[in-house]
């Protein structure tokens, strides 16, 4: 099984970004752990701070992988274009968030990703990604 992880803005600085909310681990370190944990899964990873690049990546991943795990970060709450891109592709997308967005500011409660997502995993720290992989495997 091929699973592609797509991370949005500011997730390249995990580890030093608000560690009390997002934890102290870098995503690179966590991703290496995931690859070790799921040896039978072909995991790939892309991160961008740029909205259009995330859309292009969703389009390119379509039909090349079995599932996409998307943390669109702040674009979750603003990007109609990312919502449309998910609607336009056939590959199932699991929306993940590290923090519990519903326990934070009101503007984080709305997601343009959720209506088009296959499923949503929110608030389990970096473990949200592991749970998303397990969901695809199930």
CB 77 within 8 A of CB 112: yes
**50 annotated ligand-binding residue:** no
* 93-97 sheet: strands from edge to edge: 42-47, 2-7, 67-71, 93-97, 119-122
User: Residues 115, 82: contact at Cβ < 8 Å?
Assistant: no
Sole binder of ligand DQA in the list 98, 117, 121, 133 (CB under 6 A):
98
103 — alpha (psi -120 to 50), left (phi > 0) or beta?
alpha
**Residue 93 interacting with ligand DQA (CB under 6 A):** no
Per CB under 6 A, 71 contacts ligand DQA: yes
Q: Which of 43, 69, 97, 130 binds ligand DQA (CB under 6 A)?
A: 97
The burial of 80, by beta-carbon neighbours within 10 Å (0-12 exposed, 13-18 middle, 19 or more buried), is given as exposed
Residue closer to ligand DQA, measured from CB, 74 or 89: 74
Is 102 annotated in a binding site? The answer is no
Can you tell me which of 26, 56, 91, 99 binds ligand DQA, judged by CB under 6 A? 99
- Considering only 23-31, 33-41, 66-74, 112-120, which stretch makes contact with ligand DQA by CB under 6 A? 66-74
List contacts with ligand DQA (CB under 6 A): 10, 71, 73-74, 76, 97-99, 101, 108
């Amino acid at each position: 099984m091929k699973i592609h992880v797509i991370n949005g803005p500011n997730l390249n600085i995990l580890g030093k970004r608000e560690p009390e909310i997002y934890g102290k681990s870098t995503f690179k370190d966590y991703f290496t752990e995931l690859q070790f944990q799921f040896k039978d899964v072909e995991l790939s990873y892309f991160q961008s701070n740029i909205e259009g690049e995330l859309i292009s990546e969703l389009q390119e991943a379509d039909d090349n992988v079995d599932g996409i795990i998307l943390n669109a970060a702040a674009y979750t709450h603003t990007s109609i274009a990312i919502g449309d891109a998910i609607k336009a592709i056939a590959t199932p997308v699991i929306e993940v968030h590290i923090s519990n967005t519903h326990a934070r500011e009101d503007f984080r409660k709305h997601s343009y990703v959720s209506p088009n997502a296959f499923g949503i995993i929110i608030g389990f720290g970096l473990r949200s990604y592991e749970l998303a992989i397990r969901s695809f495997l199930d």
